[in-house]
Chain A
């Protein structure tokens, strides 16, 4: 099984810096891509079926193709979204800290494809070590002539900067991230216009997730056919970093082909549940995905299959709920997070999430009433897709609505017994 994204990553997690990276075949894709036409690179990536790894799963090449290639622009920008703040997600940290040049290489090729001349690596403020690693790698890449005004003496120009953020989950939303990069409040922007047309500083911009960008060198180096062949699922190219946290025996992160089953992930890779605990359910791709339960264990982990089961592949890092952890408490924790992280821009999210949190707390504290479940149910619809300005609140409603569906009796038990029986 090939593991292109993590093949360089050392068991001790120490970063691979430039000499070693080059010796492992690094920066070959830059050499190759710079000899191609930008549109060819985009076309190749489009055909590779690489889909955005930040959670939305949109075809990456297609996204790039919306960047205007004609016309005069002051700048075009490429931004790497390293604002990994989705609870339960810890995949980009590994890629940044373990193999920073892979990211930089991917960004150079991407920048070339969209003809961006300026780029930023946006890393969340708490990833202090990752920021140090990237800073060093960037300096190396400039030194080696992979970045700057005359990349590998081809005359191509691409400047890449590091930006460390100062908190707020909403920065992970690409337009909010752009506002934050501009030194503003990270409120999401209206779409359309999409960033490809008017993004950072009003210029054409692509924002891609770290993991997404790390795929690019391998697609260029090895071709579309190879890349599609990595996956067990036709239509979802490449490998994916899958992870598991919660009370499993071996929590961790693994690069695996699309199409492994949830059961394989849980049992073969995460080692199954800790002794004495039963699998009650999981959020398959971070906090803003719907619960999957035991009946779903045999579904394939790819975009379509997870969606068919009523959830989303999201970031591919699952959070496992065991039978000794209170599901109401878990959902309360999630909604507390989302209520805290609402940017305060649109009404349903700003007002609805704190309300949801308060009801859940009431239930968890044993003061709940049956009518509260109706109000919770109402909120899952009220904050549904299309009703809010961005995807934060609909994402927040995913675990709640599925918990109400699968764990309703647990909610009712809290209400009937006037206490949390898990405590």
Chain B
């Protein structure tokens, strides 16, 4: 630690930090633009000027940029010396010479870092009296709006987009005061992480286009801490609502999970909440227009009384919901809602992490890894933020080169210059090209069986006692040897795999590689991806796979089925689901959006999406995380767990639990594997200074007027008995515990940059610790699976389907969001060049393909990386049979 002095205050700081970080961490307000905790310093904006003194006797000092000065021993600086204050104000004045001052019509207004810094710098009067430079804006796709005139040229966008996220279609053009940030031509930004530009840009150049369509100022949003529902990573988010519609999602900082960022699916997939496919009424037989709640429950009470009830839960529903359903129907009659195949696969992955000896890393730990081996996943499509973390991790092994040359790691441009394009090893084995291939050391495109075999070969080369698969080519052996050597050469290797190849042996092979590395003394971690937001949780909860219930129906009593937040047609073939559902007297479906399953329901109960519900998800790391209801919708929706409890009461089997906390506690108490999940956020009676945590800012406007068209009397605000938060602006307006962060704000800091104020130190943990609870920790000793499959053989019956996931399109809920839908494209079948030739098919052809008895119309695309004999199927797309099998074609 280095002793330094800021404004006369003696501090002990990490000398590896710069003086800007040290100042902000110590609570001093120093304005900045180009520096970002994740991007480091470049010294371009000149906004963070402070005065640095040679020693105690130096009373004059000199102006320096605090972001470019190390916090070295003995540094003495003043952040409020007059020359620094004046210079900072002058920098703002200079930036303002071309800024259009269009705050009233700018989407960033009210949470604009430029506004904050302008106020902070004290610059008020403008002397510039000439014309401003103007630019043309570009169309950048459905997610991002572009307004270049507002640009203050901090270069953050290109540094984030290119250097951090690995995108190459955003850049800076021209020079002098004409510099322009955008694409070469109008067009969709290709990066899956483009949405972070909205938060990275300190002003309104890049704004959220979905927000723009229903724009609301930050201070007018009702916001609550949430968890992303669009994949298994469980990024922390804040969702904002006004007038009954959700207006946007932005990142909620969690050092261990998503840090500052989100993927575009997570940020822009939310509009399924506002969809016209939302179920807002109760439906019972014979009432096509819907009925009220009383009528619905009257019907249910009669129809269900004394009937045998079977329940199907869902990997996209909360632990509380699944648990409550399981309680209602009993373990024997409860399904996790996964097909047998998917359940066994997910269970294998969960068990591997629960019983194995290798740690499941947080994304932060992934960022700290040094070498990476990915088996069977296009991580960017299946767990996007994990891919972004891997991108950072592979830089670790080469970073010491900068240390050796005396270049601090925060000094971004020189670090990248000395490292050049070098990075640590990243080996990828997948059936198709992946979106991390641009930084891959090696890529191996092959059938799932052969990927598993490569994995086993790697395990063998790490631990020679393990079996080397027979019949491998010399090339594969050489590759496996290289991968093994690379993983062994680093202290922190990371193995990544998951369920998205729909192949157990790949997960087993990945586990064996990780276990072998662990036994070799490495700090190895194993990150496995799952399909949905609560796949991990629902598997831990135990339940039957769908087919077990289906089979039971063939022999046992079939009376009432309750399906909660699950579209069974995405799990099993239409034929099987149709047959199953048709057997019941009543099919009761609880969901928030219309699905193929709700179409078959006799009774539909509307339930809340993640923004209208409290709940707990377990992410792919095994971390239990809480999401909270954002607002009380006008239509009668409630959390599924509450609906199930109401239903139970209607049939006179009431639960003791009533509030959300009761249900969470019930899960925690009933099942030891969930011990502690009731403690991951404060209980509902928690208060700060006698007050609840408000979901609305102290500047929230229009509350007495916004419903005046209905009644001039201000309606009584809804009460929240489930959480320690209020639905209004009443409550404690200071910093709440990290799990209850409803928005980021600090006096003078209205933008997301105020996150600085919520952290123990800049870029570090949140005050009071990062929210969430890890439910799995590695065992001391692991075992090997050693289940080596036979090599892939081209089938004579047809092409073998392999799943191909797309970040936009494969996921159920986001696909209903218009912006994401625009990016999804149509269902496709991917063919190898050889097979396409054999079948006389060309890119863009439309074909009828059949898997099982289900026929789907698909577009043909050619993937040259695909192995002959395989057909890549766009899983999750509308109409695609979830049961993959041999594929036959009809042009």
Q: Say if the two chains contact directly (CB < 8 Å).
A: yes
Residues of A within 8 A of B (CB): 168, 185, 189-190, 192-193, 197-198, 201-202, 339-348, 350-355, 358, 371, 375, 378, 382, 386-389
Which A-chain residue is minimally distant from B99 (CB atoms)? Answer: A351
With an 8 A cutoff between CB atoms, is B465 at the interface?
Answer: no
A193-B90 in contact given A343-B175, A387-B46 (Cβ < 8 Å): no
Q: How far is the CB of A389 from chain B (nearest CB, A)?
A: 6
Q: Indicate if the CB atoms of A351 and B175 lie closer than 8 Å.
A: no
With an 8 A cutoff between CB atoms, is B417 at the interface?
Answer: yes
Q: Indicate if the CB atoms of A190 and B176 lie closer than 8 Å.
A: no
Q: Indicate if the CB atoms of B44 and A382 lie closer than 8 Å.
A: no
A350-B153 in contact given A190-B68, A342-B176, A355-B130 (Cβ < 8 Å): yes
User: Among the listed stretches B247-255, B274-282, B406-414, B683-691, which one makes contact with chain A, having 4 or more residues with CB under 8 Å of it?
Assistant: B406-414
Which residues from chain A contact B127 at a C-beta distance below 8 Å? 371, 375
Q: Indicate if the CB atoms of A388 and B46 lie closer than 8 Å.
A: yes
CA distance A347 to B419 in the complex (A): 27
CA distance A346 to B176 in the complex (A): 9
Q: How far is the CB of A398 from chain B (nearest CB, A)?
A: 19
Q: Indicate if the CB atoms of A347 and B175 lie closer than 8 Å.
A: no
CA distance A202 to B418 in the complex (A): 4
Which residues from chain A contact B63 at a C-beta distance below 8 Å? 386-387
Q: Indicate if the CB atoms of A347 and B94 lie closer than 8 Å.
A: yes
Q: Indicate if the CB atoms of A347 and B411 lie closer than 8 Å.
A: no
With an 8 A cutoff between CB atoms, is B20 at the interface?
Answer: no
A198-B414 in contact given A358-B130, A387-B63 (Cβ < 8 Å): yes
With an 8 A cutoff between CB atoms, is B541 at the interface?
Answer: no
Q: Indicate if the CB atoms of A386 and B64 lie closer than 8 Å.
A: yes
Jot down 13 A-B pairs with beta carbons below 8 A, ordered by A: A189-B414, A190-B414, A193-B411, A193-B414, A202-B417, A340-B176, A344-B177, A344-B178, A347-B152, A348-B46, A348-B91, A351-B95, A389-B43
Q: How far is the CB of B596 from chain A (nearest CB, A)?
A: 53
Residues of B within 8 A of A (CB): 42-47, 49, 62-64, 68, 87, 90-91, 94-95, 97-98, 127-128, 130, 152-153, 155, 172, 174-179, 405-407, 411, 413-414, 417-420
CA distance A101 to B420 in the complex (A): 33
Q: Indicate if the CB atoms of B64 and A355 lie closer than 8 Å.
A: no
A347-B47 in contact given A193-B414, A197-B405, A387-B87 (Cβ < 8 Å): yes
Which residues from chain A contact B90 at a C-beta distance below 8 Å? 348, 378, 382
CA distance A358 to B133 in the complex (A): 13
- B407's partner among A192, A352, A388 (CB-CB below 8 A) is A192
CA distance A386 to B51 in the complex (A): 11
Which residues from chain A contact B155 at a C-beta distance below 8 Å? 345
Which residues from chain A contact B94 at a C-beta distance below 8 Å? 347-348, 351-352, 355, 382
Q: How far is the CB of B178 from chain A (nearest CB, A)?
A: 7
Which B-chain residue is minimally distant from A202 (CB atoms)? Answer: B418
- A341's partner among B62, B176, B417 (CB-CB below 8 A) is B176
Which residues from chain B contact A189 at a C-beta distance below 8 Å? 413-414, 417
- A202's partner among B47, B64, B419 (CB-CB below 8 A) is B419
- A347's partner among B62, B153, B405, B407 (CB-CB below 8 A) is B153
A389-B413 in contact given A202-B418, A347-B95 (Cβ < 8 Å): no
Which residues from chain B contact A351 at a C-beta distance below 8 Å? 94-95, 97-98, 177
Q: Indicate if the CB atoms of A193 and B406 lie closer than 8 Å.
A: yes
Which residues from chain A contact B179 at a C-beta distance below 8 Å? 344, 350
Q: Indicate if the CB atoms of B420 and A201 lie closer than 8 Å.
A: yes
Which residues from chain B contact A389 at a C-beta distance below 8 Å? 43-44, 46
CA distance A358 to B127 in the complex (A): 12
Q: Indicate if the CB atoms of A198 and B43 lie closer than 8 Å.
A: no
Q: Indicate if the CB atoms of A344 and B407 lie closer than 8 Å.
A: no
Which residues from chain A contact B417 at a C-beta distance below 8 Å? 189, 198, 202
Q: How far is the CB of B120 from chain A (nearest CB, A)?
A: 16
Q: How far is the CB of B7 from chain A (nearest CB, A)?
A: 21
- B46's partner among A185, A342, A347, A371 (CB-CB below 8 A) is A347
Which residues from chain B contact A190 at a C-beta distance below 8 Å? 42-43, 68, 411, 413-414
Q: Indicate if the CB atoms of B405 and A346 lie closer than 8 Å.
A: no
- A342's partner among B45, B97, B175 (CB-CB below 8 A) is B175
Which residues from chain A contact B420 at a C-beta distance below 8 Å? 201-202
CA distance A185 to B87 in the complex (A): 28
Which A-chain residue is minimally distant from B174 (CB atoms)? Answer: A344
Which residues from chain A contact B95 at a C-beta distance below 8 Å? 347, 351
- A343's partner among B43, B47, B176, B406 (CB-CB below 8 A) is B176
- B418's partner among A193, A342, A347, A355 (CB-CB below 8 A) is A193
Which residues from chain B contact A202 at a C-beta distance below 8 Å? 417-420
CA distance A190 to B407 in the complex (A): 11
Which residues from chain B contact A348 at a C-beta distance below 8 Å? 46, 90-91, 94
Which residues from chain A contact B413 at a C-beta distance below 8 Å? 189-190
Which residues from chain B contact A344 at a C-beta distance below 8 Å? 153, 174-179
Which residues from chain A contact B98 at a C-beta distance below 8 Å? 351
Which residues from chain A contact B91 at a C-beta distance below 8 Å? 347-348
Q: Indicate if the CB atoms of B407 and A339 lie closer than 8 Å.
A: no
Which A-chain residue is minimally distant from B419 (CB atoms)? Answer: A202
CA distance A340 to B176 in the complex (A): 6
Q: How far is the CB of A62 from chain B (nearest CB, A)?
A: 18
CA distance A344 to B413 in the complex (A): 16
Which of B49, B127, B128, B177 has most chain A Cβ within 10 Å? B177
Q: How far is the CB of A83 from chain B (nearest CB, A)?
A: 15
Which residues from chain A contact B407 at a C-beta distance below 8 Å? 192-193, 198
Which residues from chain B contact A185 at a C-beta distance below 8 Å? 172, 175
Which residues from chain B contact A358 at a C-beta distance below 8 Å? 130
Q: Indicate if the CB atoms of A345 and B177 lie closer than 8 Å.
A: no
Which residues from chain B contact A343 at a C-beta distance below 8 Å? 175-176
CA distance A371 to B127 in the complex (A): 10
- A192's partner among B44, B45, B47, B406 (CB-CB below 8 A) is B406
Which residues from chain B contact A378 at a C-beta distance below 8 Å? 90
Which residues from chain B contact A347 at a C-beta distance below 8 Å? 44-47, 91, 94-95, 152-153
CA distance A192 to B418 in the complex (A): 12
Q: How far is the CB of A72 from chain B (nearest CB, A)?
A: 11
Given contacts A189-B417, A382-B94, 14 further A-B contacts (CB under 8 A): A190-B68, A198-B407, A344-B176, A344-B178, A346-B43, A347-B46, A347-B91, A351-B97, A355-B94, A355-B128, A358-B130, A387-B46, A388-B46, A389-B43
Which residues from chain B contact A353 at a C-beta distance below 8 Å? 176-177
Which residues from chain A contact B172 at a C-beta distance below 8 Å? 185
CA distance A344 to B418 in the complex (A): 23
Which residues from chain B contact A346 at a C-beta distance below 8 Å? 43-46
Which B-chain residue is minimally distant from A340 (CB atoms)? Answer: B176
CA distance A344 to B152 in the complex (A): 11
Q: Indicate if the CB atoms of A198 and B418 lie closer than 8 Å.
A: yes
Q: How far is the CB of A38 from chain B (nearest CB, A)?
A: 21
Which residues from chain B contact A375 at a C-beta distance below 8 Å? 127
Q: Indicate if the CB atoms of B176 and A382 lie closer than 8 Å.
A: no
Which of A189, A198, A352 has most chain B Cβ within 10 Å? A198
Which residues from chain B contact A198 at a C-beta distance below 8 Å? 405, 407, 414, 417-418
Q: How far is the CB of B256 from chain A (nearest CB, A)?
A: 31
Q: Indicate if the CB atoms of A193 and B97 lie closer than 8 Å.
A: no
Which residues from chain A contact B414 at a C-beta distance below 8 Å? 189-190, 192-193, 198
CA distance A352 to B177 in the complex (A): 10
CA distance A85 to B614 in the complex (A): 66
CA distance A201 to B418 in the complex (A): 7
CA distance A378 to B128 in the complex (A): 12
Which residues from chain B contact A345 at a C-beta distance below 8 Å? 44, 155
Q: How far is the CB of B403 from chain A (nearest CB, A)?
A: 12
A339-B46 in contact given A198-B414, A348-B91 (Cβ < 8 Å): no
Which A-B residue pairs are the 10 nearest by beta carbons?
A351-B94, A344-B179, A202-B418, A342-B176, A198-B418, A358-B130, A344-B175, A344-B176, A347-B46, A202-B417
Q: How far is the CB of B128 from chain A (nearest CB, A)?
A: 6
Which residues from chain A contact B176 at a C-beta distance below 8 Å? 339-344, 350, 353-354
Which residues from chain B contact A340 at a C-beta distance below 8 Å? 176
Q: Indicate if the CB atoms of A342 and B130 lie closer than 8 Å.
A: no
Which residues from chain B contact A342 at a C-beta distance below 8 Å? 175-177
